[in-house]
Amino acid sequence: MTFYELFQQTMPMLLKGAVITLKLTIVVLPLAVLLGLISCLLGMTKHFKFISNIYIAIIRGTPIIVQVFFIYFGLTQFFRFRMTAYTAGVISLSMNAGAYLSEIFRGGIQAVNIGQTEAARSLGMSYSSTMRKVILPQAFRIVIPSVVNQFIITLKDTSIISVIGLMDIVMQAKQIIARTYKSFIVWLLVGCVYFVICYTLSKISQYIERRLSVGKNRN
């Protein structure tokens, strides 16, 4: 079998896997941002801070593959219910990325100079107005590179989901290799597919960053 023939046979399957990967990512990212925001806001309160702390500690303290297995096999067995591999993937990846995003958001808010809060509060603006109109718009710009970075990590982390049987790029590749024994070429192609997606994403983010740098404080 020539390289060209292998390429022709393999790519449609890999691209089908890529669609699953992308679909999963597109569902996971907004959920992760939402979880991250909630956790970040809880982390800034006095009484509910512990929820955010525990959540982040657990996610940071365990490997993602353990989280996936625990949710897909562990929880379903313990509470006696069924869950599709896709649902388990969405839940575990969202929770995982959410915890990291929560820390990124917190860092972004803290990175805004305290003088900004003081200026706004001295003008009579309430805490929540100050947050919404002064701090968060600045924090948003600060966190974009880190958030995009986390998005790319999460996109790549979706490859973990193949262990519970979802037909993503990695799972497709495994099946092709099982048939053809062409490890080198197939994994190389898999790498290329991921690379193209991730590289495009980081280029888009650079463009957004440049667009948003207007009026940035260069002091």
Partner 1 sequence: MAKIEIKGLIKKFGKLEVLKGIDLQVEEGEVVCLIGPSGSGKSTLLRCINCLEQPTEGSVTVDGDVLTDKKIDINIARENIGMVFQQFNLFPHLTVMQNIILAPVDRKIMSKNQAIKIGMGLLERVGLADKKDQYPSQLSGGQQQRVAIARALCMGPDVMLFDEPTSALDPEMVGEVLDVMRELAEDGMTMVIVTHEMGFAREVADRVLFLDGGYILEQGTPEQIFGNPQNERTKSFLEKVL
What does the alpha-carbon distance between residue 177 and residue 2 come to, in Å, rounded to a whole number? 15
Of the ranges 25-33, 69-77, 118-126, 199-207, which one interacts with partner 1 (CB under 8 A)?
118-126
Give the number of other Cβ atoms within 10 Å of residue 117's Cβ. Answer: 17
116 part of the interface to partner 1, by CB under 8 A: yes
Query: Which of 16, 121, 156, 182 forms a contact with partner 1 (CB under 8 A)?
Result: 121
What does the alpha-carbon distance between residue 33 and residue 94 come to, in Å, rounded to a whole number? 8
77 part of the interface to partner 1, by CB under 8 A: no
208 part of the interface to partner 1, by CB under 8 A: no
145 part of the interface to partner 1, by CB under 8 A: no
What does the alpha-carbon distance between residue 93 and residue 95 come to, in Å, rounded to a whole number? 5
Query: Which of 30, 63, 74, 137 forms a contact with partner 1 (CB under 8 A)?
Result: 137
Assigned token pair, 114: 């305290």
61 part of the interface to partner 1, by CB under 8 A: no
DSSP string, 122-172: HTT--HHHHIIIIIHHHHHHHHHHHHHHHHHHHHHHGGGGGGGT--SHHHH
CB closer to partner 1 out of 2 and 122: 122
Query: Which of 5, 81, 115, 181 forms a contact with partner 1 (CB under 8 A)?
Result: 115
Assigned token pair, 191: 């790498």
123 part of the interface to partner 1, by CB under 8 A: yes
| C-alpha 60 chain-centroid distance | 14
**Residues near partner 1, by CB under 8 A:** 113, 115-116, 118-126, 129, 133-134, 137-138, 141, 214-219
